[in-house]
């Protein structure tokens, strides 16, 4: 998979295996929609793999472009400061690999639709 492109979904991480498994499910759904991309996950804390470990594995598999996607609703410290800093350190360790950071989920029409779906489900 030389020169491949990847998406790295990053959440906070949890002591709950069920909570961590949710990110695996999100990754599976993204893979189904973008089968040409490698899709991996990482957690900032409390669970493995960490961001550096996930980036190292992607690079070892031949990936040369990584978009790090903070799986956070709000642009708080993790999405705005911590994840970009980790991505920058990872990029410095892998010259020739392009590592970019996407914006956190934030205000997006798809999220508004999801909120409305959940409200409707609760009202039934």
For the annotated catalytic residues, the residue numbers are 12
Nearest-angstrom CA–CA distance, 116 and 3: 40
The residue with tokens 């999100």 is 26
Q: How many C-beta atoms lie closer than 10 Å to residue 38's C-beta? A: 19
Cα radius of gyration rounded to whole Å, the chain: 15
């Amino acid at each position: 998979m030389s020169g491949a492109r990847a998406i790295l979904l990053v959440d906070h991480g949890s002591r709950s295996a069920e909570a961590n498994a949710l990110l695996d499910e999100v990754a599976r759904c993204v893979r189904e929609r973008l089968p040409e991309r490698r899709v991996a996950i990482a957690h900032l804390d409390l669970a493995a793999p960490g961001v550096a470990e996930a980036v190292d594995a992607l690079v070892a598999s031949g990936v040369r472009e990584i978009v790090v996607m903070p799986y956070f609703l709000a642009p708080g410290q993790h999405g705005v400061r911590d994840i970009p800093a980790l991505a920058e350190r990872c990029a410095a360790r892998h010259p020739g690999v392009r590592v970019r950071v996407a914006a956190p989920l934030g205000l997006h029409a798809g999220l508004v639709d999801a909120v409305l779906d959940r409200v409707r489900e609760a009202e039934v």
